[in-house]
Amino acid sequence: MKQWTLGVIGGSGLYELDGLRNRRRLSIESPWGAPSDELIAGELEGVRLVFLPRHGRGHRIPPGELNARANIDVLKRAGCTDVLSVSAVGSLREELPPGTFVVADQYIDRTVSRPASFFGSGLVAHVSMADPVCPRLSAAAADAARAAGAPTVEGGTYLAMEGPQFSTRAESHLYRSWGCSVIGMTAMPEARLAREAELPYANVCMVTDYDCWREATAHVEVTNVLEVLLSNADTARQMIAALALGLPEVRAPSPIDTGLDQAIITDPALWAPERVEKLAAICPRKFKPAADA
């Protein structure tokens, strides 16, 4: 068995993952509340894999109500070493038509109502988000997407909007003027929280439509998006299998694995016990409940 345990967060259209050996359901409690659904664990191409449907099976949870803290927490508790996010997005660029897979490497966060950190009063930390994704996992995901037959673009800026409504035309043109490549509703604060949890994170964005900036195209409707989603989801499953197959036997350490070593600013003597208790799974190297200290 390879040394990786790959967490996969499936986005719109990707609610199940086929081909897992020794498949089992995991129900893991989190001090941050309920995750989107049970985890599905197993082995795929020699890699331990843990799958979480971001919106729950059947797409029950809207973007603004996702408990991203609980989702990342339970993946860490399940032993994940790295996280691959798969999400549906709209295109803000002519050269990124529906069906394209974009491996995002930057974000602009326009969400407004979502808890964005595991830290807070009683224990303060500031992680670096200058480079918000893991370059080696992103490169491996891009190679896997190409192997699965998807037109693939490496790099691009993801505009994270609050939703659940789609953009106005004025907003869409604004985001294009900012240099954004794709637009979605789920990658933030997910990427921020993965970094706080010391989980290398990559985001493969499946383009389903052109956002409403494109005058020659009808404005976005869910019925149109669903047609592309089905095709994209099949390709995404092949991509995940190709990624697992292509990962090396030995997982070399990543600087992200110890990112909190340079982030925590509160004097350890003043750490709030209740905050330490909740952070125990996020960084067990540093945070231990009082009973285990």
pLDDT per residue over 1-53, tens digit each? 999 999 999 977 777 787 899 999 999 999 999 999 999 999 999 999 999 99
Kindly state the DSSP code that residue 269 receives in the 8-state scheme.
Answer: G
Active site residue 209: yes
Distance of CA 3 to the CA centre of its chain: 21
Any catalytic annotation for residue 211?
yes
DSSP string of 210-256, one letter each residue: E-TT-TTSPPP-HHHHHHHHHHHHHHHHHHHHHHHHHS-SS----GG
pLDDT tens per residue, range 221-238: 666 667 777 778 889 999
Strand partners, 107: 158
Cα separations (Å) of 157 from 105, 175, 219, 237, 245?
A: 6, 10, 22, 24, 28
* Residue 210 reports pLDDT greater than 80: yes
Residues 112-158 pLDDT 10s: 999 999 999 999 999 999 999 999 999 999 999 999 999 999 999 99
Q: Is residue 259 part of a domain?
A: yes
* 22 located within any domain: yes
Residue 118 lies in a domain: yes
User: Which residues make beta-bridge pairs with 83?
Assistant: 7, 201
- 230, 167 contact by CB (below 8 A): no
**Domain assignment of residue 292, yes or no:** no
Percent of the chain with pLDDT over 90: 86
116: tokens are 């964005």
Residues 179 and 60 sit within 8 Å (Cβ to Cβ): no
Average pLDDT, the chain: 93
Whether 220 shows a pLDDT value over 60: the answer reads no
- Residue 292 in this model has a pLDDT that exceeds 80: no
- Would you say residue 205 lies in a domain? yes
Least confident of 17-21, 53-57, 274-278: 17-21
Residues with Cβ within 8 Å of residue 158, at least 6 apart in sequence: 89, 104, 106, 107, 108, 180, 181, 182, 183, 184, 187, 203, 205
Residue 287 lies in a domain: no
Residue 217 in this model has a pLDDT that exceeds 70: no
Is-contact 32 278, C-beta < 8 A? yes
* CA atoms within 13 Å, Cβ hemisphere of 272: 10
Cα(166)–Cα(77) distance, integer angstroms: 34
Tokens of 218: 């009808």
Contact 202, 134 (CB under 8 A): yes
Whether the pLDDT of residue 293 is over 80: the answer is no
Domain presence at residue 79 = yes
- 224 token code pair: 């149109």
Place of tokens 């990707």: 14
DSSP β-ladder status, 82-91 and 101-104: unpaired
Instruction: Look up residue 121 and give its amino acid.
Output: S
Dmax over CA atoms of the chain, in Å, equals: 63
**Among 209, 234, 257, 292, the one annotated catalytic:** 209
Domains identified in the chain, total number: 1
Domain with 180 in it: 5-278
pLDDT for residue 291 is more than 90: no
- What CATH number is attached to the domain comprising 113? 3.40.50.1580
Residue 249 confidence (pLDDT) above 60: yes
Q: What is the pTM of this model?
A: 0.94
Task: Point out the catalytic residue in the list 211, 257, 267, 292.
Answer: 211
In a domain, 283, yes or no: no
pLDDT value, residue 238: 95
* Single-letter residue type at 139: A
- Whole-number pLDDT of residue 230: 77
pLDDT of residue 170: 97
